[in-house]
A = this chain, B = another copy of it.
Amino acid sequence: MKPIGVFDSGVGGLTVLRELRTALPGDDFVYLGDTARLPYGTKSAATVTRYSLQCAKLLAARGIRGLVVACNTASASALDALRAAHPAIPVIGVIDPGAEAAVAASRSRHIAVIGTEATIAGGTYQAAIRRLDPAARVTAGACSLFVALAEEGWVEGEIPRGVARRYLEPLFAVVAPPDTLVLGCTHFPLLRDAIRAALPAGVSVVDSAATTAAAVRRQVAAHGSSRGVVTWLATDDAARFARVGSRFLGEPLSAADVEIVDLGAAG
């Protein structure tokens, strides 16, 4: 049985992989982090689409039965092109599952979305939510430092809590505040405790990693009979991928297990 392919510009997508392994515990995965060309968030949609097609082509050449785009920027720009290039397998991004879960969770129909500067400025979550509920009100905020805190592993204590308060309090200190918060960046689940501590009581937190894993479970038939093997691929710096990635994955990851691949050759 073929594995499920997952790609991201770096290690952030490992929070999605972590949820996928929980949702599909007996399945195999192949994860590709395009670490040589990160970040995708500051690049044009045409470039991100080209890179995403190269990632998908390399994964498809290894044989996969589903493709998970575990990157907000690639999900926003490249999903249609990826589906056109790979019509025989389900292609699932991280934005629609998060938007669906948010619309389902919100009673007030006022939803807050946080993400990177590029994701928020691009308005993709805002548009996905409004497609599902045209009357929904969406408050969006960029939380750039959360990415650096997650990569540094500073996820507990006064520093992340102070940063979370500074970003989140203005979004919720309004009349008729949001009742749901979407973590619209794959790095943010690492800061879940600090984020929760900065929120008013009763706010639902929607994690796009967990909701994407649930969508994959619905759209890609679980195999369930394997040992849950993951093949690790990256385009640069296996040592950093393993070191920083371990925190995102929540378990140790060895640089010796990371195969460096050349996407130029796959283009």
Binding site for B on A (CB under 8 A): 35-36, 38, 42-44, 144-145, 147-149, 151-152, 154, 158-159, 162-163, 166, 236-237
Contacts and interface: CB of A to CB of B under 8 A. Distances in A.
A36 B48 CA distance: 12
Nearest to A159: B162
A154 B145 contact: yes
Nearest to A163: B159
A151 B35 CA distance: 22
Nearest to A38: B42
Contacts of A163: 159
Contacts of A44: 236
Contact of A148 (B35, B148, B237): B148
B159 A148 contact: no
Contacts of A145: 145, 148-149, 152, 154
Q: How many identical subunits does the complex contain?
A: 2
A166 B44 CA distance: 36
A61 to B, nearest CB: 24
A141 B56 CA distance: 37
Contacts of A166: 154, 159
A204 to B, nearest CB: 27
A38 B158 CA distance: 31
A151 B158 contact: no
Nearest to A165: B159
Shortest beta-carbon contacts, A-B, top 8: A148-B148, A145-B148, A159-B162, A144-B152, A144-B148, A145-B152, A159-B163, A158-B162
B236 A42 contact: yes
A42 B159 CA distance: 26
Contacts of A36: 42-43
A255 to B, nearest CB: 14
Contacts of A148: 144-145, 147-148
Contacts of A144: 148, 151-152
Contacts of A149: 145
Contacts of A43: 36
16 contacts: A35-B42, A36-B42, A36-B43, A38-B42, A42-B236, A44-B236, A144-B148, A144-B152, A145-B145, A145-B148, A145-B149, A145-B152, A145-B154, A147-B148, A154-B166, A158-B162
A8 to B, nearest CB: 15
Contacts of A159: 159, 162-163, 166
